[in-house]
Structure 1
Amino acid sequence: MADASIAARIAAQPGIQRVPSPKLTLFVKRGFLDAGACAGLVAMIDAQRRPSTVSDFNGDAAFRTSETCDLAAADPLVAAVDAALAAFTGLDPLHGEPLQGQRYAVGQEFKAHTDYFEPNGVDYDRYCSVAGNRTWTAMVYLNEPEAGGATRFKAVDKTIQPETGKLVCWDNRRADGLLNPATIHHGMKVRAGTKYVITKWYRERPWGW
């Protein structure tokens, strides 16, 4: 399904909010997941977390300081969330990367970045040779930290606050199909408590690993 059709499908979903900007396609929906599902995913992340990594390392060891969890696709809760995201967005689940969880403790962040892989980056072929580049991102906050942890889209000066079950999804490309640098976003530092999210990235072609 073309990106315009995906955007139209998402825009038609109940309770969806579209950020009013011509620079990018960005949606927010509160209450996408219920508290029970969020708590179950948090427990999985806590049990299996590892240090997060980045592609095309820029020399900044503090660029991404969170922890990551690869969520098992065969787990019934993970499978249900995967299916819910595909049904809501209309994105082909065969094009989806495995669902990931992220945990941010006090002081941890992911500095301003885009989710797609830069075609001139040293890791481009390694990450994109099979399934192509990332097209859409879907992220769900699993809890509300006591302070901090917002997601800021710098190019449109939009800051989204964490809220249990809130979905944020965006197209990493422009209407002409080119990669969109206006999707640059910052997972801001947690100042008190802990932040948990899940992230689902979709690709140009079926996920082949």
Structure 2
Amino acid sequence: MESHLPNGTGPKAAAYVTAQPGVQRVPSPKLDLFVQKDFLDPVTCAILVELIDARRQPSTIADANGDPLYRTSETCYLDAIDPRVDGLERRIADFLGVDPIFGEPLQGQRYAVGQEFKAHTDYFEPMGADFLKYCAETGQRTWTAMLYLNTPDAGGATRFKAIDKIVQPETGKLLAWNNQRKDGTPNPSTIHHGMKVRAGTKYVVTKWFRERPWPQ
């Protein structure tokens, strides 16, 4: 398969992901959004859940917006020195056709009952107070890959507001989307809401990629 640009940008990016075996492309002209069921096996998902539980801390946001309940989950970074983490990061990069050097460290998130991440975009607002702090060296975020590690008892879906698409969490299911428009500018239609968990607990891992290499 012919690859596109190594950081996942450019007109061939979505076509590359579309060609992956078993992938489902959500039909919308507003954004490039993909679903891949059974991307990761349940045993490895359970191992990653244990790693998150051992490291989790209250989640933060880049630009404070005055809402203390905007993101109420817990978060941690997973160390790529662990071969299971490194292997997953490489699988995700290969799925997207992105060179791994453009990837941020893998982040784990835990949502208990009532916790959520209100509607947000993953890119950094170009006019935001902390844009230079987070993007001066590595550039803007290009792709997001989010993997559900378990199926909570109720709730915890991800809603893409601009296209009114709700994706239910299932063990091993991967969501991937391009945070940019075709011209390379941030795509506001990628706004999404990690909805409240109503019963049980939700675990996910998220991998973001940048325009320029991530410092090693």
Within the alignment, does 1:49 sit opposite 2:56 as a pair? yes
- Mapped to 2, the partners of 1:81 and 1:5 lie a distance apart of 23
Within the alignment, does 1:114 sit opposite 2:83 as a pair? no
CA apart distance, 1:6:
2.1
Unaligned runs of 5+ residues in structure 2 are none
- Mapped to 2, the partners of 1:202 and 1:159 lie a distance apart of 23
The equivalent residue for 1:103 is: 110
Alignment map for 1:1-209 (pairs within 5 Å): 1=5, 2-208=9-215
* Misfit runs of 4+, over 3 Å: none
- Mapped to 2, the partners of 1:103 and 1:73 lie a distance apart of 19
- Mapped to 2, the partners of 1:85 and 1:141 lie a distance apart of 13
- Mapped to 1, the partners of 2:88 and 2:156 lie a distance apart of 23
Unaligned runs of 5+ residues in structure 1 are none
For the residue of structure 1 that corresponds to 2:11, the secondary structure is helix
Q: TM-score, normalised by structure 2?
A: 0.95
Q: State the identity %.
A: 66
- Mapped to 1, the partners of 2:38 and 2:11 lie a distance apart of 24
State the Cα deviation string for residues 52-79 of structure 1 (Å, max 9, x = none): 0001110000000000011001101000
Contact 1:30 1:165 in 2 (8 A): yes
For the residue of structure 2 that corresponds to 1:4, the secondary structure is coil
CA apart distance, 1:4:
2.5
Contact 1:117 1:134 in 2 (8 A): yes
CA apart distance, 1:8:
1.0
- Mapped to 1, the partners of 2:215 and 2:85 lie a distance apart of 19
Over aligned residues, Cα RMSD in angstroms? 0.8
Amino acid corresponding to residue 170 of structure 1 in structure 2: W
For the residue of structure 2 that corresponds to 1:177, the secondary structure is coil
Amino acid corresponding to residue 117 of structure 2 in structure 1: F
Q: TM-score, normalised by structure 1?
A: 0.98
State the Cα deviation string for residues 84-132 of structure 1 (Å, max 9, x = none): 1111110111000000000000000000000000011111111111101
Contact 1:104 1:196 in 2 (8 A): yes
State the number of aligned residues.
209
